[in-house]
């Protein structure tokens, strides 16, 4: 396996490092701009010594963005266009053989991705989340821990689905929307909204 370069050194990066360890991936380096403000603590034994600009932008660089913010992941992916973005699937996750997993995406421990699912680039399917048959998760989506998508759900680019949110079959959520923790989505939503509650409704204030 190629040594893995990880952008970020906070909580999500810690989970990415643990995932890389579980897969036997050697860690090449971690990158974080906060080293300008002082020394960062080691992340699971790996020191953080280089700002983000130090990532080699070459096809020989195998990397993952270890940052939970969907918008920041998009910014960094646009910044480093030549890097080989590695998709990582935890050994305890189950991913159907015909599911599509895009570059830079991560499938965390205990997650399930069912047949026909299509997952874009730099997507996070977090701990114990499930993505059922024929779902579409566009680039930069984050499906938080314990979130469950029934069949044929479509999440547009950059959607954040909060911890424990539930989506009934066939619903769509437009790009860069936020679904609150514990929400139950029983209808479709347009782009750029925040929806919360059971059933989920658009928050207006």
> If DSSP states are collapsed to H, E and C, what string results for 35-58?
HHHCCCCCECCECEEECHHHCCCC
Domains 4-85 and 88-195 share a fold: no
CB atoms within 10 A of CB 47: 14
Check pLDDT > 60 for residue 136.
yes
Can 133 be counted among the known catalytic residues? yes
Cβ-contact 178, 190 below 8 angstroms: no
The pLDDT value recorded for residue 155 is 98
Candidates 2.160.10.10, 3.20.20.140, 3.40.50.12280, 3.90.550.10; CATH matching 88-195: 2.160.10.10
Residues 6+ apart with CB under 8 A from 204: none
Length of the chain equals 205
* Active-site entry in 25, 46, 84, 133: 133
Lowest mean pLDDT among 35-39, 55-59, 60-64: 35-39
Measured distance CA(103)–CA(5) in Å, rounded:
14
The pLDDT value recorded for residue 205 is 74
Cβ-contact 139, 121 below 8 angstroms: yes
Check pLDDT > 70 for residue 91.
yes
Lowest mean pLDDT among 29-43, 86-100, 142-156, 162-176: 29-43
Q: Output the pTM of the full model.
A: 0.95
Where does the pLDDT of residue 40 fall: very low under 50, low under 70, confident under 90, or very high at 90 and above?
Answer: low
Tokens 């909204």: give the residue: 193
CATH number assigned to the domain covering 4-85: 3.40.50.20
- What single-letter DSSP state applies at residue 131? E
Mean pLDDT, rounded, for 135-145: 98
Residue spans per domain, the chain: 4-85, 88-195
The pLDDT value recorded for residue 37 is 56
Tokens 């347009």: give the residue: 190
The pLDDT value recorded for residue 19 is 96
Check pLDDT > 60 for residue 51.
yes
Mean pLDDT, rounded, for 160-177: 98
**Among 2-6, 37-41, 42-46, the range of highest mean pLDDT:** 2-6
């Amino acid at each position: 396996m190629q040594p893995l370069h990880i952008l970020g050194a906070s909580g999500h990066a810690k989970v990415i490092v643990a995932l890389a360890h579980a897969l036997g991936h050697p860690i090449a380096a971690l990158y974080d701009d906060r080293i300008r403000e002082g020394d960062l603590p080691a992340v699971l034994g790996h020191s953080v010594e280089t700002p983000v600009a130090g990532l080699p932008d070459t096809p020989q660089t195998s990397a993952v963005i270890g940052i939970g913010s969907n918008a920041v992941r998009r910014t960094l992916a646009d910044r480093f266009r030549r890097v080989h973005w590695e998709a990582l699937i935890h050994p305890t996750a189950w991913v159907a053989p015909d599911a599509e997993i895009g570059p830079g995406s991560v499938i965390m421990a205990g997650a399930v991705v069912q047949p026909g699912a299509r997952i874009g680039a730099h997507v996070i399917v977090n701990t114990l989340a499930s993505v059922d048959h024929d779902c579409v998760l566009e680039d930069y989506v984050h499906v938080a821990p314990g979130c469950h998508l029934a069949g044929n759900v479509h999440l547009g680019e950059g959607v954040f689905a909060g911890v424990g949110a539930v989506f009934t079959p066939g619903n769509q959520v437009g790009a860069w929307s936020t679904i609150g923790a514990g929400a139950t989505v029983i209808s479709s939503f347009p782009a750029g909204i925040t929806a919360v509650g059971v059933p989920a409704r658009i928050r207006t204030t």
